[in-house]
Structure 1
Amino acid sequence: MAKYIAQLIVAGSQVIGRAFARAVKEEIAASQDAAKRLGNNKTRAERLNNTKTGLSLEEAKQILNIDKLDVEEINKRYDHLFKVNDKGSGGSFYIQSKIVRAKERIDMEFNATKASEDPPKV
């Protein structure tokens, strides 16, 4: 009797183990497919810029609270937010660093568009 119970437990464990392994493989495949779909929507330059600063252009615009890329407005918002969040006046260094990173990300965008608009000099 104990022999049959042991065999039943071993067989059940094998079935559960195989099902679990199959589920893990399917989940990995689905995750890789999703990553491919999401990764293909961005250009190589966008992914490179996002990894340098850790921010996307949309996040940087949200941090500086701007809608369009206007140099004057960006500088005005940056100066104001940087001064307001100064550690000496009770602000947060973390928020101040986020503001700096946002400005850097937007500056990278300006430099990229400027470089693509300027014809190469011979």
Structure 2
Amino acid sequence: MSSPRVIVQLVIVGSRILGKALLEAGRQAVKNAKHRPQGGIGDAAGVGNARSGSVTDRLTREHLMTLDEARMILNLKQNEPMEKVLQHYEHLFQANAPPVAAEAKAAAEGAAGGAQQGRFFNSRGAGPRYHSIYLQSKIVRARERIEAETKLAEEAHETVPEQPEQPPPPPSSS
């Protein structure tokens, strides 16, 4: 056997094996895409279960987050006032915000002076400050979900007319 012929045969056999492997991987990917496990990984919020026509389920589908999940993200208890919601929102949003230009400049100057390179320090100098746009987006969505639920509750409270207290009926003499 000549050397070029062996090389061509190796390439052909190798491409067949690779083609079969890619085909099988594609079939498995299609199977995985169609299959949703019971309980649903990726549906921790229960958004997939929000199928009724209720307003709360509509808000859950719209914001892709349940009210309980929104409270957990903002570290709130049940029935916290809106001021507390906004305080927690502001704190968490700022904690995950990228450093402002002045902090970035100071960090760059500090890095040049022998400090830890590549890390931003917070304004109090209490160590490195990291940020996450993903967490910020979850925090914003959590606040929006709680605000939507609060607005819904206020509208429901306004639309229900308050009934004046009626005296109990007189006892019947039977």
Q: TM-score range by the shorter chain?
A: 0.5 to 0.7
Residue 113 of structure 2 corresponds to which residue in structure 1? none
Aligned-residue CA RMSD (Å): 2.2
Instruction: Give the drift of 1:39.
Output: 5.8
Instruction: Give the drift of 1:74.
Output: 0.5
Write the mapping of 1:44-55 to structure 2, written as runs, cut at 5 A: 44-55=54-65
Residue 115 of structure 1 corresponds to which residue in structure 2? 155
Residue 132 of structure 2 corresponds to which residue in structure 1? 92
Q: Larger % of helix: which?
A: 1
Residue 141 of structure 2 corresponds to which residue in structure 1? 101
For normalisation by structure 2, the TM-score amounts to 0.43
State which drifts further: 69-78 or 58-67: 69-78
Residue 60 of structure 1 corresponds to which residue in structure 2? 70
The structure having more radius of gyration, on CA atoms, is: 2
Moved over 3 A (4+): none
For normalisation by structure 1, the TM-score amounts to 0.61
**CA–CA separation in structure 2 for the residues paired with 1:39 and 1:94:** 24
Q: Select which of 88, 94, 114 maps to 1:83.
A: 94
Q: Unaligned 5+ residue runs, structure 1?
A: 1-30, 32-37
**CA–CA separation in structure 1 for the residues paired with 2:53 and 2:73:** 23
Question: Structure 1 residues 39 and 53 mapped into 2: Cα distance closer, same or farther (>3 Å)?
Answer: closer
**CA–CA separation in structure 2 for the residues paired with 1:39 and 1:54:** 10
Identity of aligned residues (%): 30
Question: Structure 1 residues 57 and 43 mapped into 2: Cα distance closer, same or farther (>3 Å)?
Answer: farther
